Every structure is written in C-alpha cells, then in structure tokens.
Amino acid sequence: MSKDEVPGVGPYGGPAGGWGALQAVARALRQQMGVTREAKMLLKVNQPAGFDCPGCAWPDPRSTSSFEFCENGAKAVSWEATTKRTTPEFFAHHSVGELWKWTDFDLENEGRLTHPMRYDRDSDRYIPVSWEEAFSRIGANLRALPDPNMAEFYTSGRASNEAAFLFQLFARRFGTNNFPDCSNMCHEATSVGLPEAIGVGKGTVTLADFEHCDAIFCIGHNPGTNHPRMLATLREASLRGTKIVVLNPLHERGLVRFTSPQDPVEMMTGRSTPIASDYLQVKIGGDVAVLKGMMKTVLALDRESLATGGQGVLDRAFIAEHTSGLDDVVADVDATSWDDVEGTSGIARAEIERIGRLYAESKAVIVCYGMGITQHRRGTANVQQIVNLLLMRGNMGRDGAGICPLRGHSNVQGDRTVGITEIPSPELLDAIERVFGFPPPREHGHSAVAAIEAMRDGRAKALICLGGNLPVAMSDPEASFEAVRGLDLAVHIATKLNRSHLLVGKETFILPCLGRTELDMQESGAQSVTVEDSMSMVHASRGSLTPASELLKSEPAIIAGMAKAALDDTRLDWDGWIADYDRIRTLIEAVFPSFERFNERVREPGGFRLYIPASERRWATPGGRARFIAHQGVLADPRVERSDALILATIRSHDQYNTTIYSYNDRYRGITGRRDVLFVNEVDLAARGLKHGDLVDVETIEDVEGLCGKRRVERLTAVAYDIAPGSLAAYYPEANCLVSLSDVDPRSGTPSYKSIPVLLSLSRSEGAAVDDAHMWQRGDVPIDRTGAATAADAGKPAIDRTTPP
C-alpha cells in the first residue's frame, strides 16, 4: 500500500505555522464558540485580554498576560470559553455506564460543567447537589477517615498560585503531605536532578538570553505543538544566525521550518524560516550517548589546544571557582567508547563531533529540553548530563547561556513554588507553622505513582483533585482505574467532564469551577490570580468573560468551602481570604520570602522574576558549588539494549492538550481523523515483513528488572515515518496501557513514558477493541470532527477496523 492509500494518513510537506495555523484557529473558535462577541475578542491578536493563556508555560515577550496569537493557545482558550454546556439534563439522560463508552473527545466536547454534581449509585447517574450539601458531605467523609494520610490531594498544573497555596494549606492542616501532582509525571527528573547539580530545580535563563546566545540545543521537545510561541523566539534566533541543533527521533515539522503568522511577508509569499541548522535523529534513549560524544569532542579539542600552546577549550576559571566533580566526569567520558556512543545513539561519530565542535566554538549556549529527556528510567541522570556539558564551558549564569527545561502546564512551576510537594523542606514546614500557628505533618507524602499504589492497595480512601485527569494520565490504566473506583470519596474540581469522573467510588462529586478566561467576582470585587511561567516570571491573570454558569465557583472558593467543612480551626480565615485574593498573596509572601512585596510587584506591568540563584552563579548546593555528576554508561534507559526490541515513546498530537483531545488530527505528522496509529521507520517494518498500513500488535517485553510484565495493544495501523530506526511512537494517553506502574526513574519517580521496549508483529486479532479500559483510544468512528476533509470526503473508503487492509 502506498502512503496515500492508508485512510487518514498522508504526507505533510509544509512548514509549521502559516495559513494552516490560522485556519485551525478559526475552526476551533467557530466550533467551540460560534461567532460570538467573545470569539471575536479572542481573535484580536496581541490585544491584552488580561488572562494568562492556559496553554503552555512559555513566557510572553512582554511578560504580560495578553493573549498572544498562537494556534494551540487559541485551541486551549476556545476549548475553555466554549458555548457548549454539560448540564444536569445531560447527566439525567446518560448513565455513567453509558458515558464510559464515550471517547475522551466526546466527553469533553459536551462543554463546560454547570452544576455541582453527586454520583447516585441507584440510578448510576450524576445528580445535582447544592454546594452546601457537597461541602458538608465531603467534609464528613474526610473527617471519617481513620488517618489523614488516607487522603490524596492531587494538583494539575493549571491551578493558580492562590488556589494551589490554599490547597496545600488545607491538606497540611488536615494532616498530610500527600501531594501527588502532574509534575510527578512530567519534570520531576528536573526537580530532582537540577537541585543536586546547580542548587535550584528550575531553568536558569530568561527570554532575553535567547537574544544573546550563539547556539541553542533543543533536546526531546516538540515546540511546534507544545510550546508554539517558542517558535517565534527560535525563528528570531535563526534569522540572527544563531545555530539551532535538534536532537529528536522524529523529524518534527516545527523544528524544521516555520512560517510566522505574525509576519505578513512570510504569509503572503509562502516563505518560511528554517529553524534547525542541524537535526540529529537520535534513537529513543540515545541522548546521553550523544551528550557524552559531545563531551568527548570538547575534551579532545581542549587537549589539542593545550598541546599546541593554546588556552584550552574548558572554562577553567569558571570550573575552578564555581564547580566540583569534573575529574569523575572526565574519567567517565574518557572510558566511554565511540562504538558505544554510535551504537546507542544511532548517530555517526562525525556528526556528533560536528555538533560537539559547534558547542565548543560557541561563546554562549542554551540547552532546552522536554519530556524526551525526563520520561525515562534514567531521567534524572539525563538531566544531569546536560548540566555536565554546560558546566564544561561555563554556560551557566551568564548572558545568553544556561539550561531551559520547557515546563508543561501553564502554572505547574508556580504550584511547586507555593508548596505543592510531597517532600516539603523543613524550612517550608517551619514557615507554615510560624504563619498559621499549627504544626504541619513532617512525614513525607505520596507522589502520583505512590498515591495510585496507595489507593489500589486500600491504604488511601479519599482523592481530592484540583483539576486534571490523574488516572487517565497515569501509567497502567488497569491499576489506576481500579484504584480510583475503590475509593470512599472522590472529588473532582473541574471545568469539563472527563474519564476520571466516571471512575466512581462510594461518594463521588464533580465540582465545576471558573476557568482562566472568566470573571472571578468576590466580595471585594473582581479578582486576579497569579501564575509563574517556565522562566520564573510571576504575573497576574484576570479573566473577563461571563462565567459558563452562575453556579460556578472559583478554585480558591471551592477549596475554602471544603476546608471549612473538614477542619475545625477558627484561626484560619477562609472567608476573609476568598473575599480578597490580595490577602492570600500576603500569606504566600509571609511563607515564602522570595515573594516579598508580592501584591505591589505583581501589579507592575510584566510582574517580576523570582530569584534563581544559579542565574547569578550562586549555587544553593550543600558544598556551595555547581556539581559535575558522573553517571556511568550511555543508555538513557537500561532496557534499550535488548537488540530484538524496538523502543516506543508516547507523544502528543498537534490537536490535544494532554488527556484533552481537541480533534483526531495531527496535522504536522500528516494524520487526519484518527489516533490509532504507530509511527515506525520503514527499515524496521521491512525487517519484520511488515508494510505501511498494516494492522499491527505491540507487546511489551519482560525487562531486565522484571518490572514491565506483558502488556499488549492490538490493531494499530503502522505508519512508515521519518523516525530513527529502532524507535516507535504512539499517542498518549492511549498507549499508557503499555507502561507499568512500577516503570519509573527510581531517582525521581517519573514514569518512563518515553522508553517502552516492545515487540512488533502483524495483528493476529480479529476483534475491534481490546477491552473497555482502552476502547476510547481507537475512536470508534473515523470521522474528522474538526471539519477538515475526511477520508470519505476525499473519495477514500472509510476505515473498516474489522478487516485488515
């Protein structure tokens, strides 16, 4: 079968951005909002609307919260500001059992939740409940727990600083540090790896540094889709002549060429700007090999320079004054053979030497990275290898140089800053005690994986979710779904219905909240909340749209309502704090000294940057120095070695926001109207007697540590793709059933979503869906819900999933 004969699979030849992006924005707005006043307002690009885009955490050039044009930002905003509603009538018509069979797309596409709802077991339906009754039942259930550590308080990274701060206060006063959060599945390897190395778990660069660097390395992230506004930064850098080196197994469009929708000339002439100057299609898990190869090159150049009377290539003054541990890293890099580097990375030595030399010759370098680095068995070590490379040339804490982890959710970094952590420092707990007068629990709590395990084993019986879709985002849906179904109490503070809400326990509540875009009126007037972006800029966000329903409450108000019902501490003035969020910010400032003059500074245009000591070459490590940390071996994941196994990464399509599926398209990868595909290199297909378009089964192998028992996905359609040989990719969250709960980086607990060793074979299965836990992944009907041409429109047969092509 040739490429264009597989329904819904075709080539995409153009650049990222351009008219396609504008059309996608228009479509998203039309389908979710109609031609309303609000939609028109959002279309006015670059007009300050006052709210922080709920899309990604990439900073705004002016550090304001204006709605800067971006295709996926527009999707996120219109998805929230939709005119569709999920009402009590809807729930009366559809039982939970019936809704379970809906796809994730269909569930959220019903629109915004309008009423607080309670699950009624007799009718298997959600029925409306008053806020008062919901709070009092939640409070009673929490009080009934024999041990506060039997409750889990989950945070998804969209929550504001104010909501997150009140949430941690509520949980700690209740008596637990059980704070599973989305960060545990995301940048935890950064949060653990960077503090050990440079004394702070955040990136060190600001947007201005991108104007002063001469090389940018983009490792394991896909900005064209996940941080689209970053393309504007990369485009400007490229136009200035900055070298942009990409390490990624997939040839991602947004990293190749970009047509800026903001640039009339590019738009009218159809021209585009190249982004990557070098694109290395590393094998999944091969990054450490490349990084070590680069370090080998730097050391060789250094020795050569010294031997010929030069100054060397290492930044010796910086290393002597600021660092420790170089010798161990040099010994390890010297002991690493080029054979291993080439074999593991799949990249030729000459190529690695070329980018190694480029690195050595650049005066200022930034390394950006995402989930391609963190979501591996050795995610923490991967992060620290990047630091080693940067430290060698003093690329840290000076203009144009540093490390840039691309955060996920728009406030995931801020949530951590204001206390959402299962491993609180003694300083944080002391400060809470000083400010609020109660002794918070000292015992460490549960991360996301540990929380699921505790629920599965009956050690936790209540789950309060501040947003998100935890069991669906988590590995091993079988275990995660069962864990949540076994609860006595599940509470979901949410904007839209999702699958987590259908995992009903004894008492289950859906509490509908205001979104970022909406006006938040409290006693003292309209409120703003604050967020922190990927570069530690804190700024205000104020919604302006009329709320989706009169019954909605803000996240802080919902937390306060539950806290009042569950706690007996009259010193905590929940009502007073909700009346005026300035008071919450005053509390944040009292607990965290870095927020000094919070209310004043956040009112300055652009907000303020939190102090990042490493940005000024101050190292908050035990020894007061930045640390080179050696890790032996070249594998990002120890299992990559199995020669018969292919390594599968789970990735995001262009039309999804984590578990939120905006449509079944993935435009830049040429996929339309479906998600049940597996991206495979042609060579790997041929080696197994397979071809493009075949229905295939994917099965995990028992790994060296015996952690990853047999798991299968059946009947995916193989797509011959420009991906590194030996590497496979499939969509998250559907492919989560291939990851076992224990399959994590032991240092940070980050699930290894990006390296799953699997075997691939022609599908033997006859049936359609494997089982109900995963049925949604297939999209029962291959329609394109965005209105783009469907396979049928194009005169092609609809996909028949019952007979192999």
Ligand X SMILES: Nc1nc2c(c(=O)[nH]1)N[C@H]1C(S)=C(S)[C@@H](COP(=O)(O)OP(=O)(O)OC[C@H]3O[C@@H](n4cnc5c(=O)[nH]c(N)nc54)[C@H](O)[C@@H]3O)O[C@H]1N2
Residues that bind ligand X (CB under 6 A): 55-56, 72, 108, 156-158, 182, 185-186, 219-222, 225-227, 247-250, 252, 282, 284-285, 287, 370-372, 375, 406, 408-409, 466-470, 473, 493-496, 498, 513, 515-516, 555, 636, 649-652, 656-660, 732-733, 735-736, 753-754
Nearer to Mo ion, 471 or 547 (CB): 471
Residue nearest to Mo ion (CB): 408
Pairing of strands 521-522, 525-526: antiparallel
Mark 360-399 with x for binding to Mo ion (rule: CB under 5 A) and - for no binding: ----------------------------------------
Residue 65 interacts with which of Mo ion, ligand X, none, CB < 5 to 8 Å by class:
none
Residue 39 interacts with which of Mo ion, ligand X, none, CB < 5 to 8 Å by class:
none
Distances (CA, A) of 125 to 95, 118, 501, 672, 776: 5, 8, 11, 34, 20
Nearer to Mo ion, 50 or 733 (CB): 733
Residue 657 interacts with which of Mo ion, ligand X, none, CB < 5 to 8 Å by class:
ligand X
- 179: burial class by Cβ within 10 Å (0-12, 13-18, 19+)? buried
Query: H or E segment at 627?
Result: strand 626-627
**Least Å distance between CB 368 and Mo ion?**
15
Residue 220 interacts with which of Mo ion, ligand X, none, CB < 5 to 8 Å by class:
ligand X
Residue 358 interacts with which of Mo ion, ligand X, none, CB < 5 to 8 Å by class:
none
**Least Å distance between CB 285 and ligand X?**
5
Whether the CB-CB separation of 241 and 213 falls below 8 Å is answered with no
186 binds Mo ion (CB under 5 A): yes
**Least Å distance between CB 500 and Mo ion?**
16
- Using DSSP's 3-state secondary structure scheme, residue 393 falls into coil
180 binds Mo ion (CB under 5 A): no
**Least Å distance between CB 398 and ligand X?**
26
Residue 426: partners with Cβ closer than 8 Å, 6 or more residues away: 442
Report the alpha-carbon distance of residue 503 to residue 469 in Å, rounded.
11
**Least Å distance between CB 194 and Mo ion?**
16
Whether the CB-CB separation of 367 and 194 falls below 8 Å is answered with no
Structure-block tokens of residue 350: 């000459």
Distances (CA, A) of 423 to 156, 162, 257, 405, 784: 17, 20, 42, 21, 44
408 binds Mo ion (CB under 5 A): yes
Report the alpha-carbon distance of residue 395 to residue 387 in Å, rounded.
9
Nearer to Mo ion, 448 or 614 (CB): 448
Dihedral of CA 449/452/457/462: which sign?
positive
**Least Å distance between CB 516 and ligand X?**
6
Residue 679 interacts with which of ligand X, Mo ion, none, CB < 5 to 8 Å by class:
none
**Least Å distance between CB 228 and ligand X?**
7
Q: Which residues of 665-680 are buried (b: 16+ CB within 10 A; e: fewer)?
A: bbbbbbbbbbbbbbbb
Report the alpha-carbon distance of residue 134 to residue 124 in Å, rounded.
18
Long-range (24+ apart) CB contacts under 8 A made by 684-690 are 684/646, 684/725, 684/726, 684/728, 684/760, 685/718, 685/720, 688/760, 688/761, 688/762, 689/762, 690/718, 690/760, 690/762
Nearer to ligand X, 141 or 344 (CB): 344
| Candidates 16-24, 180-188, 285-293, 627-635; binding stretch for Mo ion (CB under 5 A) | 180-188
- Using DSSP's 3-state secondary structure scheme, residue 419 falls into coil
Nearer to ligand X, 319 or 490 (CB): 490
Q: Which of 170, 126, 54 is nearest to 511 (CA)?
A: 126
Q: Which of 622, 537, 183, 215 is nearest to 402 (CA)?
A: 215
Nearer to Mo ion, 272 or 411 (CB): 411
Nearer to ligand X, 185 or 565 (CB): 185
Q: How many residues of this chain interact with Mo ion, rule: CB under 5 A?
A: 2
| Candidates 333-341, 402-410, 604-612, 757-765; binding stretch for Mo ion (CB under 5 A) | 402-410
**Least Å distance between CB 615 and Mo ion?**
23
CA Rg, the chain, in Å?
25
**Least Å distance between CB 652 and ligand X?**
4
**DSSP H helices in 444-597:** 448-456, 470-473, 477-485, 555-566, 574-579, 581-591
Residue 266 interacts with which of ligand X, Mo ion, none, CB < 5 to 8 Å by class:
none
Q: Which of 6, 1, 97, 102 is nearest to 801 (CA)?
A: 6
**Least Å distance between CB 108 and ligand X?**
6
**Least Å distance between CB 754 and ligand X?**
4
Nearer to ligand X, 163 or 329 (CB): 163
Structure-block tokens of residue 774: 């995963």
448 binds Mo ion (CB under 5 A): no
Residue 498 interacts with which of ligand X, Mo ion, none, CB < 5 to 8 Å by class:
ligand X
Binding residues (CB under 5 A) for Mo ion: these are: 186, 408
